Amino acid sequence: MLKLLFSLVFLAPLCFMHNTWWMVQGFLFLLTFLFMSLSSFSGFFGNVGYIFGCDVISFSLILLSFWICVLMVTASESVLRVNNHAGMFLLMILVLLTLLFMTFGTTNLFLFYVFFESSLIPTLFLILGWGYQPERLQAGVYLLFYTLLASLPLLIGIFYMYDDGGSLYIPLLSGKVQINLLFYLCMILAFLVKMPMFLVHLWLPKAHVEAPVSGSMILAGVLLKLGGYGLLRIFKVLVLSGLVFNFVWVGVSLVGGVLVSLICLRQTDLKALIAYSSVAHMGIVLGGLMTMTYWGFCGSLTLMIAHGLCSSGLFCLANISYERLGSRSLLINKGLMHFMPSMTLWWFLLSSCNMAAPPSLNLLSEISLLNSLVGWSWTSMLALSLLSFFSAAYTLYLYSYSQHGKIYSGVYSHAMGYSREYLLLFLHWVPLNLLILKSEPCMMWL
């Protein structure tokens, strides 16, 4: 693990040399494949060092971070083209990747907290430095205060655990005997905001709409998964409390998922629609996690990976249209089938993955989560059926409104994508549909 960390640190000076943008991207690809060769497909920690270790949850999420960060460099070619502080931009991506690597890889709960919070800073810089509208300042403040306010109690909870148990080593954590509501809330609140759970999700659409394409990709692809990862780790400690209190969060996330799906149906901004759809997806992840069943845990990890790839790809598509038409509004981005006929296939493929059509990884994970939630309570079937129906509805709305209809008269006759963009979308879509062929590591790690 340390060799990869040092490789990332030593990539930093390369960012500021002349014409090294694609070189850094190539090195990141190389590191991704090096990391894949460390494959640890077991529930136990492998590659253990003093502070780093890697079991299957860490492995899959670090791999996702590497992959999304490489694709961020590929997608943000406009930063290089107009030379908008390209070296600094690359450095931000590298710092963010390093922090994410350490967050998912560390075996110490306190260090996890430190890195978990620090990953906010480069994201904030990406939004403030390379965002589009002046409102990005407000979005940055939202992002900062929502997440920081909820995560202070987590720090106190971690100190309490250390005082009580004498160790913060993640593999050795065990369930507490007493059921303590305050401790439970302290430990869980930060992750619920980061997920984001319905009712504390307002920072997410704001941050997405103001962020550049790379910011949206990393937000949707990896930063939302920090919450799920934290919950997967922390529920080893909160087993008994969870059995008593979890029903509240399941209810909130399922009802919230349905309401957010309805909000999606009346969005006119492409990015806002995709951002709200993330909230709906993370709602079902949260519901499955909170049932604390085998199916729920495995399904939630799998959907986190699937959603990371799928949502990131959709943001890339929205950005490709935005770079051509100068707008993200669905009133202008319509009839794209005439305008960019070759992109319509990618819109279709990624939209169908978004509504969990076979053979995508989303399908496998959603079946697993449906199993866990229906097994937990029959009454959840109502919310789940509405959620599934409306998620298909808003995805079809996104696809048909953007691709069909009469093209807006103020744009050029037609445009082709660059090969870079096709490669970018291909690298989002292929892992999403190939991972289902080898899904045992995702589904059988407990």
Domain ranges, ordered by start, for the chain: 1-443
pLDDT score, position 39: 76
pLDDT score, position 177: 64
**pLDDT tens, 7-19?**
999 999 999 999 9
pLDDT score, position 208: 94
Instruction: Give the SS3 label for residue 52.
Output: strand
CA distances, 364 to each of 262, 342, 355, 367 (Å): 24, 28, 12, 5
Positive or negative: CA dihedral 142, 146, 151, 153: positive
pLDDT score, position 410: 79
Q: List average pLDDT for each run of 10 residues in the chain, which is 446 residues long.
A: 93 92 95 88 82 92 96 94 93 97 96 96 95 92 91 94 89 80 94 94 94 95 95 92 94 96 95 96 95 95 96 96 92 90 95 94 95 95 96 96 89 83 97 91 83
Instruction: Give the SS3 label for residue 178.
Output: coil
- Read off the pTM: 0.96
Helix H or strand E segment including 376? helix 361-376
